[in-house]
Amino acid sequence: MAQILVVDDEIGIRELLSEILSDEGHTVLAAENATRARELRARERPDLVLLDIWMPDADGITLLKEWAANGQLTMPVVMMSGHGTIETAVEATRIGAVDFLEKPIALQKLLATVKRGLRDHGGRAPAPLALANLGRSLVLGDLKKRLSQLAAPGAPLLLRGERGTMPELFARYLHVANTPWIDASQILSDPGQDVLSHAAGGVLFVPELSELSRTQQKHLAFVIDRSERAKVRLVSFSAIEPRVLIDEHGFDPALLARVAELSFALPSLRDFSEDVPDIASLMLMQLVESRYCAPRKFSTAALNTMRQFSWPGNLDQLRTAVRNAAVTALEEEIGPGDVERVLRELAPKGSASALGLPLDLPLRGAREAFERAYFEHHLALEGGSIAKVAEKSGLERTHLYRKLRSLGISTGRRDDS
């Protein structure tokens, strides 16, 4: 039978539902509020959740949204309320709830809903990383606004950027839910495939233009000629400059002009480094939810270490680092030492850029960037202790305070002796 989490602030309802479901052979977990529900959800991974809407610390809709945004909505969730409205039920369903129960809950209605939820909605795959759930930085906030403007025109769109930028993450921001998403690199290989019928009303995505063969390019040109009628949106990517793409990769110049009717530059990861902690945490959560690794979480110092790294391989390199840290860390909490070890292993031998050194800046700027990263790293490791950082860096405290102010670093607390 299944493991079911009952979340309700009323002890009488928790006990009643637990008794009924236990009699049916299920294992029941009970939480009196959202805080406890988060803990049990993370630790036990229940097969189904019965979630009350009105709770003292956070309402059920907020918790449902949180699970959906974090990729944790991998189990069916049935909402419960004694004051339910049609609008609330619709919103919960839109977020990802599978059903809605009104209190008082009839026995047969409860059992039928639980049975249906376990049968039809169990074992969901973790939600993929989505741009909509990211973006504390001004860079990603601005980027999403610009991509939203590009969503309306049906003209082909070329995304350009460095290798490893995960262009599909950005291209999917233009994709409308419940419409086709077709990877062109696969379907264009077979000239007999009716690409237009497969992609009609959706997005045809080309992960890297330089990898298309001559035959695939001809097939793509044929598709573009008819894409407007079939309402197919072509979105492609290339990390290679257009002239090099034509001269060295043999790409058809006329076709390139057509796929690049609209062009948009994607930022490198170092351009939105303040988002690295959130992105890394979401990547790790996906690995945990898919049971790729045991339950893990990053320490604050580990996340700061990743934020300060330059990530020459961009999001792909970050994803590899998170995966390696997840399976090689010895403790449940992944610390800065684990992250630094992984980054050293991923880096080419003797690569200064692998250490996160900003070698593309003028000397003065590079030195300031290094000093800022150095002191932020040690402040995080020492919990903001000026005394410990002064001792570790070999600086007098007065000199250290001046240095931190000049670098624009907030110390958090003044001193400790």
Q: Give the mean pLDDT of 333-343.
A: 93
What percent of the chain is modeled with pLDDT above 90? 56
Q: Give the mean pLDDT of 312-335.
A: 94
| Pairing of β 233-238 and β 157-160 | parallel
Superfamily of domain 3-121: Response regulator (3.40.50.2300)
Give the per-residue pLDDT at 358. Answer: 59
Please check the confidence at residue 68 and state whether its pLDDT lies above 80: yes
Q: Give the mean pLDDT of 152-176.
A: 93
The tens digit of pLDDT for each residue in 287-318 reads 988 888 888 999 999 999 999 998 989 999 99
Phi-psi region of 103 (alpha: psi -120 to 50; beta: other; left: phi over 0): beta
| Predicted confidence band of residue 162 (pLDDT cuts 50, 70, 90) | very high
Give the per-residue pLDDT at 416. Answer: 55
Q: Is the Cβ–Cβ distance between 195 and 206 less than 8 Å?
A: no
* Domain 132-267 part of CATH 3.40.50.300: yes
199 closest CA partner among 182, 183, 185 = 182
CATH of 277-355, one of 1.10.3720.10, 3.40.47.10, 1.10.8.60, 3.10.50.30: 1.10.8.60
Give the per-residue pLDDT at 258. Answer: 95
Q: Is the Cβ–Cβ distance between 195 and 223 less than 8 Å?
A: yes
Query: In sequence order, what are the residues at sequence separation of 6 or more whose Cβ sits closer than 8 angstroms to the Cβ of residue 47?
Result: 2, 3, 4, 75, 76, 118, 122
Higher pLDDT pick, 121 / 304: 304
Give the per-residue pLDDT at 415. Answer: 54
The amino acid sitting at 180 is P
Please check the confidence at residue 414 and state whether its pLDDT lies above 60: no
Distance CA 200, CA 414 (A): 62
SS3 label, residue 234: strand
Give the per-residue pLDDT at 361. Answer: 61
137 closest CA partner among 334, 279, 260 = 279
Give the per-residue pLDDT at 289. Answer: 84
The tens digit of pLDDT for each residue in 143-153 reads 999 999 998 77
Token readout for 84 is 């339910």
Please check the confidence at residue 328 and state whether its pLDDT lies above 80: yes
SS3 label, residue 249: coil
Q: Is the Cβ–Cβ distance between 322 and 401 less than 8 Å?
A: no
Give the per-residue pLDDT at 191. Answer: 64
Give the per-residue pLDDT at 370. Answer: 82
Give the per-residue pLDDT at 192. Answer: 62
- Please name the helix (run of DSSP H) or strand (run of DSSP E) that holds residue 399, with its range, or none: helix 397-406
Give the per-residue pLDDT at 277. Answer: 95
Which residues is 205 bridged to in the sheet?
183, 235
The tens digit of pLDDT for each residue in 342-374 reads 988 876 554 555 455 556 567 777 787 788 878
SS3 label, residue 106: coil
Half-sphere exposure of 417 (CA within 13 A, CB side): 1
Q: Give the mean pLDDT of 57-75.
A: 88
